[in-house]
């Protein structure tokens, strides 16, 4: 429109709004397409983001929800330390410092500036999990007590200057990983993702011009801020508190306290972690930036989850994390299992605010990745390693039961390995993969159930486990009960063992390892659950007849499994 | 019309059963001349609309030499969960595998996430005491005597079909076969075995495929027997069904392999685009189908429609070959709405009821079709076969109402709606090409469906594509595509070996067994052995990877070194890198058998009707411009029409923007090219 008064019309704004999400999807597609290691293109342990000159989020696509808006922190840090002038067209910067970006050394953030007509207009970034970044153990380290045991550490480092890769840095990276070849391949894939974002943004700027693009961006931020403020304002004001404990820090045996206070006051949503445990010796510490991302994730799952994240989304959110806190990790504490505490933190926030949400409240899920690693040596002296996270039960909410056998928040889109595939790769037979009866928290709406996965060693092997949340399993809300916690036992020629965390426990062939994951929390009084639904749960193997009687006050005919109304009334009358 | 006495059948006929209309394309087997028609679909008994269409447009079943149809009967049964009451039997210890599924969360941010709804619940799943090891050896014998209570429960629940999926059944099928005999004898209901439905590993995906098959088997059986019975009464023959993999199969085989009918409907268009790619010698084609509610994209690359080896419906995995089609919720019925001060379009659709405001059936929210009407791109009286008069004033009023809140006039709002939806569709296409590492600029765009040709040039401009093809009869293109196919079967077997260590003789024997199986199927479908072809392929991956890539194997006596070179090359094309030094492993062996169907040489362009071009004011680039309005049938082959223009025909409208020109090319298709310079 000639001589338009409006800098940008609503149509161009919407076209640009849709473009930002689509552009992030394209960046992700480029990353998946060219990544070398399955943990990226199948496990989707990665994220991409597009941001403006001030590192405000424009669009993003992530495989792991925990990475929400975490890439922005990395760029912001580089901007604060080096300024805008540090960046030249074609540069690529990488970093993995857990005290800056907040996660662990495996998560490598790669980003580059986007220039348009010789002006820096924004950044494209990607993050992916690199399988080996040095460190004392191959893959994920266990029982580390400082960051130096976990691998190499980089602050924002230019590895490509003006489109020219720095051969010395490439060499450094290759030499410091047990999987150097794949590492360079994955780095190239991440750079390809950034270049895709850069190119797509330039195409858009060619079409609409920088001025219109910037004006549309401001509009989009404004609209997001306004919608999110309104959603926070609609929540009842109040101060909501919750706390729980991690079993231990992975090295010692003392529990680790996590405390949350959420204040909702008008359009303000404030989260304060004062009261949370100090930094730990073991690797459960998490940097400030990633703790903020986890809090943003909890916030976003409550406030307009339907809207894409952009600048403005987190306007109502204020975060306070004490200096001396396991969620404010500083050199040199260990961070390898940084996400363990985040699962608890997120559910504490969601369930604390749940008090104010009534039927919209969501009970906690089983809470952690539940990683089991079985490793051994082949006759030719090479090693085999099987390492998998395990699904568990999710929380009920005011309108539905929780889902059973679903992967945790920290693992995003991970799929279990089929038994027929697993047994072809490792000298281990799986004897059972089943829903764990009675593990879901009883409630008017029942928590989802965890699983039982039973492994039989066909050769001598070692077992490493990282199971959590036995001290604070998924609790119930509104009168509902907690789900079961995790459990692992081994039986075989070497006798019986039971435990949750262990590093390289040597086991002889024919040992049977039975891993059970926990369930989700229940919502509302279990005695108010419709007896017919309890009966259905029993028929479906989610609840035992005994638990139906003892926890739900429902008596069933042992032969027909039909509800016995008289006895049920009697049981519920007493309850 | 039909006469007494024996009639020589003379038509090749394709029928595509859609939600609202059943489309038919009739081709004269000797002259190749094509005509088309539409009748209303009969949802409760879809066969009725097929017969009506054949009576009306082909003169009755006895005139039909070859009949192929695309059916959504199976797909609808799955989407609406209205299939048979099905039971599943699995190896004890793994009976929860179907409900555990992949345990992944498709919407990673949703803390209330529920898995896709399964086709059966836990009480319909039964454990079988047996176990086969991963070497194919029996570890625990099958105990049929222990099965008595299970048989009782199946009977008690009144289940109508059964799926059997035992661990390693694809490797050692004896237990599945024994169960089949036992259960058929005891219960007399259909029993589908996983190693037959899908001889592939991954127990959850195989169970899901087998369950889906058992779930739709009785539905497909009922539907096909009705159709065959009624066609036979009229003397019809040679009933074929379009398959998800892009080939056709006889109705008899479809009864045995109902799963292959699942994506029967939309595949026709993708195969039609592949045929256009061949005839016009454009090896790379983006094919878009835009109707009332959805926008579907498929790709033809190097002359072949892109086919994947696994797919899913409603989140449930299926191990079968299927033409790749991805859709977004954008169509003529997509609704424009306000979210605060933001204007959004879709994904909600007004569908056909109440439909766009201009239909006058009670719709009050402006849609993409209303926007096209307000900008003069659609004629108020010739829409969709002229059966309906469109209400321009009502559309304008609704657009003005919506735009008013944003300070926009009705035409500005209309243009805005098109800009937003076109950008979203172009983005959807672009993401698909980025995934495969290809550049859309090297492609031609084939656009069909009621709304596709109206938006095609605008999409092409955004993607910097220079050529758009609007097929002859764009409103019945899927049915036309079905006439361009051959009989095809994909057979496969899991064959997990390191490529370097593969026993060539053993692999050749496996290929030979698959080929023999395929040829037998083709024989049962009356295919002349002279017209049969077989191609061998292998799925490979680098050691340590999970998913594989399909590589052609020129001879059943495969040469591991040559296969590795081809694999590295294809891997590089697909993923942008490869590693000659990394070892590869074979996962599956495939044989595709085809039976060529005789087809008349090149369909003839429709006769030119003598009608003068008119003109109308159409809005382009923010200004009303005088556009030529032409009846498509009145454009002579070879002659060219410069934009701005609107080309009208009974089922669709093609918009030729300024700077573009259109001409009729071989086969009666319309090619639009950007003359360049204007923009």
The lowest-confidence range among B144-148, B322-326, B648-652 is: B648-652
Architecture of domain B267-330+421-482: 2-Layer Sandwich (3.30)
- For residue A9, the model assigns a pLDDT of 86
B366: its two tokens: 């402006």
> Is the pLDDT score of B7 beyond 70?
no
- For residue B385, the model assigns a pLDDT of 46
- Best mutation target among B94, B98, B103 (most A Cβ atoms within 10 Å) is B103
B444-448 and B285-290 strand pairing: parallel
pLDDT interval class at B607 (50, 70, 90) = low
Distance to chain B for A468, nearest Cα, Å: 19
Among residues 170-189 of chain B, which lie with CB inside 8 Å of chain A?
A: none
CATH class of domain segment(s) B487-595? alpha beta
- For residue B5, the model assigns a pLDDT of 52
- For residue A403, the model assigns a pLDDT of 97
- For residue A3, the model assigns a pLDDT of 38
Inter-chain touch A305–B103, beta carbons under 8 Å: no
> Is the pLDDT score of B230 beyond 90?
no
> Is the pLDDT score of B678 beyond 50?
no
- For residue B433, the model assigns a pLDDT of 86
- For residue A44, the model assigns a pLDDT of 81
Which residue from B36, B63, B60, B42 is spatially nearest to B478, judged by alpha carbons? B36
- For residue A295, the model assigns a pLDDT of 96
Mean predicted confidence (pLDDT) in A90-103: 96
pLDDT interval class at A4 (50, 70, 90) = very low
Mean predicted confidence (pLDDT) in B513-522: 96
Inter-chain touch B113–A65, beta carbons under 8 Å: no
Nearest CB to B100 within list A13, A42, A433: A433
Q: Which residues of B87-122 are buried (b: 16+ CB within 10 A; e: fewer)?
A: bbbbbbbbbbbbbbbbbbbeebbebbbebeebbbeb
H/E stretch holding A229: helix A210-233
Q: Are A517 and A366 in contact (CB under 8 A)?
A: yes
pLDDT interval class at B590 (50, 70, 90) = very high
Residue where the block lists tokens 């989009």: A220
- For residue B617, the model assigns a pLDDT of 94
pLDDT interval class at B326 (50, 70, 90) = confident
Which residue from A109, A45, A106, A108 is spatially nearest to A76, judged by alpha carbons? A109
Q: Where are the domains of chain B?
A: 78-220, 267-330+421-482, 334-420, 487-595, 614-674
d(CA A443, CA A479): 7
**Long-range contacts of the stretch B23-26 (C-beta < 8 A, 24+):** B23/B53, B23/B475, B23/B476, B23/B478, B23/B479, B24/B53, B24/B54, B24/B57, B24/B58, B24/B476, B24/B479, B25/B473, B25/B476, B25/B479, B25/B480, B25/B482, B25/B483, B26/B57, B26/B58
Nearest CB to B96 within list A10, A22, A435: A435
Listed in sequence order, the residues at least 6 apart from A418 whose beta carbon sits closer than 8 Å to its beta carbon are B201, B202, B203, B204, B205
B623-631 and B645-648 strand pairing: parallel
Mean predicted confidence (pLDDT) in A43-49: 88
Which residue from B596, B598, B588, B590 is spatially nearest to B517, judged by alpha carbons? B590
> Is the pLDDT score of A312 beyond 80?
yes
- What mean pLDDT, rounded, does chain A reach? 93
Q: CB contact, 8 Å: B348 with chain A?
A: no
> Is the pLDDT score of B3 beyond 80?
no
- For residue B237, the model assigns a pLDDT of 60
pLDDT interval class at A43 (50, 70, 90) = confident
Burial class (CB in 10 A: 0-12, 13-18, 19+), A286: buried
Mean predicted confidence (pLDDT) in B485-501: 93
d(CA B423, CA B438): 19
- For residue A574, the model assigns a pLDDT of 62
Q: Are A517 and A390 in contact (CB under 8 A)?
A: yes
- For residue B677, the model assigns a pLDDT of 41
The lowest-confidence range among A323-337, A543-557, B542-556 is: B542-556
Inter-chain touch A418–B577, beta carbons under 8 Å: no
- Best mutation target among B112, B149, B344, B416 (most A Cβ atoms within 10 Å) is B112
- For residue A320, the model assigns a pLDDT of 97
Listed in sequence order, the residues at least 6 apart from B248 whose beta carbon sits closer than 8 Å to its beta carbon are B68, B240, B241, B242, B482, B485, B486, B487, B488, B597
The lowest-confidence range among A280-289, B101-110, B220-229, B346-355 is: B346-355
pLDDT per residue over B237-290, tens digit each? 678 999 999 999 999 899 888 999 998 878 999 999 999 999 999 999 999 999
- SS3 per residue for B350-365: CCCCCCCHHHCCCCCC
Among residues 392-451 of chain B, which lie with CB inside 8 Å of chain A?
A: 406, 408, 412, 415-416, 419-420, 423-424, 427-428, 430-431, 434-437
Q: CB contact, 8 Å: B576 with chain A?
A: yes
CATH for B78-220, options being 3.40.50, 2.60.40, 1.10.10, 1.20.1070: 3.40.50
C-beta atoms surrounding B503 within 10 Å: 10
B212: its two tokens: 């889906």
**Set of chain A residues whose Cβ sits within 8 Å of the Cβ of B122:** 539-542
- For residue A2, the model assigns a pLDDT of 37
pLDDT interval class at A268 (50, 70, 90) = very high
Inter-chain touch A435–B111, beta carbons under 8 Å: no
> Is the pLDDT score of B46 beyond 80?
yes
pLDDT per residue over A418-434, tens digit each? 999 999 989 999 999 99
Inter-chain touch A435–B344, beta carbons under 8 Å: no
Q: CB contact, 8 Å: B133 with chain A?
A: yes
Q: CB contact, 8 Å: A78 with chain B?
A: no
What percent of chain B stands above pLDDT 70?
Answer: 95
Q: Are A490 and A507 in contact (CB under 8 A)?
A: yes
Among residues 429-448 of chain A, which lie with CB inside 8 Å of chain B?
A: 429, 431-435
Q: CB contact, 8 Å: A421 with chain B?
A: yes
Inter-chain touch A17–B341, beta carbons under 8 Å: no
pLDDT per residue over A503-521, tens digit each? 889 999 999 999 999 999 9
Please, which residues bridge with residue A239 across strands? A263
Phi, psi (5° rounding) for residue B323? -60, 135
What percent of chain B stands above pLDDT 90?
Answer: 64
Listed in sequence order, the DSSP H helices in B85-172 are 97-100, 148-157
Mean predicted confidence (pLDDT) in A312-336: 97
In degrees, to the nearest 5, what angle opens at C-alpha B46 toward C-alphas B43 and B49? 105
Among residues 614-653 of chain B, which lie with CB inside 8 Å of chain A?
A: 622
pLDDT per residue over A430-489, tens digit each? 999 999 999 999 999 999 999 999 999 999 999 999 999 999 999 999 999 999 999 999
B257: its two tokens: 């392999």
In degrees, to the nearest 5, what angle opens at C-alpha A391 toward C-alphas A387 and A392? 140
pLDDT per residue over A136-155, tens digit each? 887 788 889 999 999 999 99
B235: its two tokens: 């003397």
d(CA B540, CA B563): 9
DSSP state at residue A563: B
- For residue A364, the model assigns a pLDDT of 96
Task: Give the 3-state secondary structure of residue A182.
Answer: helix
**Set of chain B residues whose Cβ sits within 8 Å of the Cβ of A416:** 100, 102-103
> Is the pLDDT score of B235 beyond 60?
no
What percent of chain A stands above pLDDT 70?
Answer: 98
Inter-chain touch B123–A540, beta carbons under 8 Å: yes
> Is the pLDDT score of B6 beyond 80?
no
**Set of chain A residues whose Cβ sits within 8 Å of the Cβ of B94:** 419, 432-434
Q: CB contact, 8 Å: B108 with chain A?
A: yes
Tell me how far CA of residue A151 lies from CA of A212, A334, A369, B46, in angstroms.
45, 11, 22, 64
**Set of chain B residues whose Cβ sits within 8 Å of the Cβ of A300:** 109
Which residue from B494, B450, B485 is spatially nearest to B599, judged by alpha carbons? B485
Beta strands in A393-474, from DSSP E residues, in sequence order: 428-435, 451-457, 461-466
A92-95 and A107-116 strand pairing: antiparallel
> Is the pLDDT score of B434 beyond 90?
no
pLDDT interval class at A1 (50, 70, 90) = very low
Nearest CB to B121 within list A63, A435, A540: A540
pLDDT per residue over A197-237, tens digit each? 999 999 999 989 999 999 999 999 999 999 999 999 999 99
Distance to chain B for A413, nearest Cα, Å: 5
Q: Which residues of B34-59 are buried (b: 16+ CB within 10 A; e: fewer)?
A: bebbbbebeeeebbbbbbbbbbebbb
pLDDT per residue over B248-262, tens digit each? 999 989 988 899 999
pLDDT interval class at B310 (50, 70, 90) = confident
- For residue B349, the model assigns a pLDDT of 86
pLDDT interval class at B2 (50, 70, 90) = very low
- For residue A5, the model assigns a pLDDT of 37
pLDDT per residue over B99-126, tens digit each? 999 999 888 888 999 999 999 999 999 9
Distance to chain B for A119, nearest Cα, Å: 25
pLDDT per residue over B365-375, tens digit each? 999 999 999 99
- For residue B423, the model assigns a pLDDT of 93
Which residue from A446, A247, A269, A289 is spatially nearest to A349, judged by alpha carbons? A269
């Amino acid at each position: 429109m000639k001589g338009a008064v409006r800098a940008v019309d609503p149509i161009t704004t919407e076209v640009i709004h849709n473009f930002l999400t689509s552009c992030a999807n394209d960046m992700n597609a480029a990353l998946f397409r060219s990544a070398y290691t399955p943990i990226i293109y199948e496990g989707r342990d990665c994220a991409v983001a597009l941001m403006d000159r001030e590192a405000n989020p424009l669009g993003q696509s992530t495989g792991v929800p925990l990475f929400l808006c975490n890439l922005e922190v990395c760029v912001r840090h580089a901007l604060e330390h080096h300024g805008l002038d540090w960046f030249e067209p074609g540069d690529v910067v990488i970093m993995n410092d857990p005290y800056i970006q907040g996660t662990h050394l495996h998560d490598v953030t790669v980003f580059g500036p986007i220039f348009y007509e010789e002006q820096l207009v924004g950044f494209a970034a990607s993050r992916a999990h690199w399988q080996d970044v040095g460190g004392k153990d191959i893959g994920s380290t266990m029982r580390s007590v400082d960051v130096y045991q976990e691998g190499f550490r980089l602050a924002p480092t230019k590895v490509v200057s003006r489109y020219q890769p720095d051969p010395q840095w490439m060499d450094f990276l290759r030499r410091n990983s047990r999987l150097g070849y794949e590492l360079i391949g994955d780095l190239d894939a991440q750079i390809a993702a950034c270049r895709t974002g850069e190119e797509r943004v330039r195409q858009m700027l060619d079409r609409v011009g920088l001025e219109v693009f910037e004006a549309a961006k401001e509009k989009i931020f404004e609209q997001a801020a306004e919608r999110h403020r309104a959603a926070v304002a609609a929540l009842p004001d109040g101060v909501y508190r919750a706390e729980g404990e991690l079993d231990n820090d992975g090295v010692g045996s003392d529990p680790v306290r996590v405390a949350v206070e959420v204040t909702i006051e008008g359009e303000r949503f404030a989260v304060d972690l004062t009261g949370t445990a100090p930094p730990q010796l073991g690797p459960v510490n998490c940097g400030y930036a990633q703790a903020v991302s986890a809090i943003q994730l909890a916030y976003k799952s409550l406030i307009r989850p339907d809207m894409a994240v952009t600048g403005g989304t987190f306007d109502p959110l204020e975060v306070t994390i004490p200096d001396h806190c396991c969620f404010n990790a500083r050199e040199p504490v260990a961070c390898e299992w940084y996400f363990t505490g985040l699962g608890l933190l997120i559910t504490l926030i969601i369930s604390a605010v749940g008090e104010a949400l009534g039927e919209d409240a969501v009970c906690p899920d089983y809470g952690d990745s539940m990683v089991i690693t079985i490793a051994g040596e082949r006759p030719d002296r090479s090693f085999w390693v099987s390492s998998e996270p395990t699904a568990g039960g999710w929380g009920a909410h005011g309108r539905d039961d929780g889902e059973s056998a679903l992967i945790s928040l920290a693992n995003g889109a991970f799929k279990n390995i089929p038994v027929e595939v697993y047994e072809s790769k490792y000298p281990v037979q799986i004897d059972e993969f089943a829903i764990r009866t009675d593990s879901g928290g009883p409630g008017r709406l029942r928590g989802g159930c965890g699983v039982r996965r039973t492994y039989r060693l066909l050769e001598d092997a070692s077992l490493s486990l990282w199971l959590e949340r036995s001290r604070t399993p998924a609790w119930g809300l509104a009168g509902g009960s907690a789900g079961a916690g995790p459990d692992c036992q081994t039986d075989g020629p070497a006798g019986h063992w039971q435990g949750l965390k262990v590093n390289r426990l040597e086991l002889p062939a024919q040992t049977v390892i039975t891993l059970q994951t926990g369930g989700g929390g229940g919502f509302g009084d279990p005695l108010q659950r419709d007896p017919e639904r309890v009966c259905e749960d029993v028929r479906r193997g989610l609840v035992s007849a005994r638990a139906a009687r003892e926890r739900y006050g429902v008596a069933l005919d042992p032969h027909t499994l039909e509800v016995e109304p008289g006895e049920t009334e009697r049981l519920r009358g007493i309850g | 019309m039909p006469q007494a006495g024996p009639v020589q059948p003379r038509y090749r006929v394709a029928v595509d059963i859609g939600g609202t209309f059943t489309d038919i394309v009739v081709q004269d087997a000797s002259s190749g001349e094509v005509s088309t028609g539409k009748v209303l679909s009969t949802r409760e008994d879809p066969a009725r609309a097929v017969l009506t269409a054949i009576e009306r447009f082909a003169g009755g079943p006895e005139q039909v030499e070859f009949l192929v149809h695309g059916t959504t009967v199976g797909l609808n049964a799955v989407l609406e969960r209205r299939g048979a009451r099905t039971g599943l039997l699995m190896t004890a210890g793994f009976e929860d595998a179907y409900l555990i599924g992949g345990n992944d969360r498709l919407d990673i941010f949703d803390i209330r996430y529920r898995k896709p709804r399964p086709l059966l619940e836990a009480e319909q799943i039964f454990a079988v005491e047996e176990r086969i090891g991963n070497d194919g050896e029996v570890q625990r014998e099958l105990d049929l005597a222990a099965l008595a209570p299970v048989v009782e429960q199946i009977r008690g629940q009144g289940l109508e079909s059964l799926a059997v999926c035992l661990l390693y059944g694809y490797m050692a099928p004896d237990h599945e076969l024994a169960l089949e005999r036992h259960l058929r004898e005891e219960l007399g209901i259909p029993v589908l075995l996983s190693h037959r439905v899908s001889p592939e590993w991954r127990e959850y995906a195989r169970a899901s495929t087998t369950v889906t098959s058992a779930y739709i088997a009785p539905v497909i059986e009922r539907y096909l027997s009705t159709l065959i019975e009624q066609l036979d009464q009229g003397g019809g023959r040679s009933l074929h069904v379009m398959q998800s993999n892009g080939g056709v199969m006889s109705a008899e085989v479809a009864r045995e392999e109902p799963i292959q009918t699942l994506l029967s409907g939309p595949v026709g268009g993708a195969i039609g685009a592949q045929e256009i790619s061949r005839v016009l010698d454009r090896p790379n084609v983006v094919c878009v189908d835009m109707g009332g509610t959805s926008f579907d994209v498929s790709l033809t690359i190097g002359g072949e429609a892109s086919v994947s080896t696994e797919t899913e419906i409603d989140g449930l995995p299926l191990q079968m070959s299927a033409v790749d089609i991805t859709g977004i919720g954008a169509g003529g019925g997509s609704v424009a709405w306000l979210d605060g001060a933001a204007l959004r379009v879709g994904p909600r659709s007004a569908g056909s009821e109440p439909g766009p405001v201009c239909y006058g059936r009670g719709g009050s929210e402006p849609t993409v079709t209303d926007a096209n009407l307000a900008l003069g791109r659609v004629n108020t009286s010739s829409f969709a076969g002229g059966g309906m008069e469109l209400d321009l004033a009502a559309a304008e009023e609704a657009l003005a109402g919506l735009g008013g809140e944003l300070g926009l006039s009705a035409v500005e709002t209309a243009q805005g709606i098109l800009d937003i939806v076109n950008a979203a569709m172009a983005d959807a296409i672009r993401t698909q090409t980025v995934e495969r590492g290809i550049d859309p600029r090297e492609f031609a765009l084939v656009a069909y469906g009621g709304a596709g040709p109206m938006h095609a040039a605008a999409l092409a401009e955004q993607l910097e594509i220079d050529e758009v093809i609007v097929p002859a009869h764009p409103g019945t293109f899927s049915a036309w595509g079905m006439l361009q196919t051959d009989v095809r079967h994909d057979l496969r077997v899991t064959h997990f070996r390191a490529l370097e260590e593969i026993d060539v003789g053993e692999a050749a024997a496996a290929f030979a067994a698959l080929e023999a199986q395929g040829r037998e199927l083709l024989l049962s479908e009356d295919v002349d052995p002279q017209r049969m072809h077989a191609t061998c392929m292998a799925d490979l991956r680098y050691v340590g990877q999970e998913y594989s890539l399909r590589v052609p194997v020129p001879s059943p006596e495969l040469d591991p070194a040559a296969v590795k070179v081809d694999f590295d090359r294809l891997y590089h094309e697909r993923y942008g890198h490869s590693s000659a030094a990394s070892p590869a492993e074979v996962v599956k062996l495939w044989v595709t058998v085809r039976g060529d169907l005789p087809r008349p040489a090149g369909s003839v362009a429709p006769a030119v009707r003598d009608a003068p071009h008119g003109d109308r004011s159409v809005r382009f680039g923010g200004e009303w411009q005088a556009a030529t309005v032409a009846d498509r049938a009145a454009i002579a082959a070879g002659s060219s029409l410069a934009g701005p223009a609107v080309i009208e025909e009974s089922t669709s409208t093609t918009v030729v923007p300024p700077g573009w020109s259109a001409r009729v090319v071989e086969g009666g298709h319309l090619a639009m090219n950007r003359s360049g310079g204007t923009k």
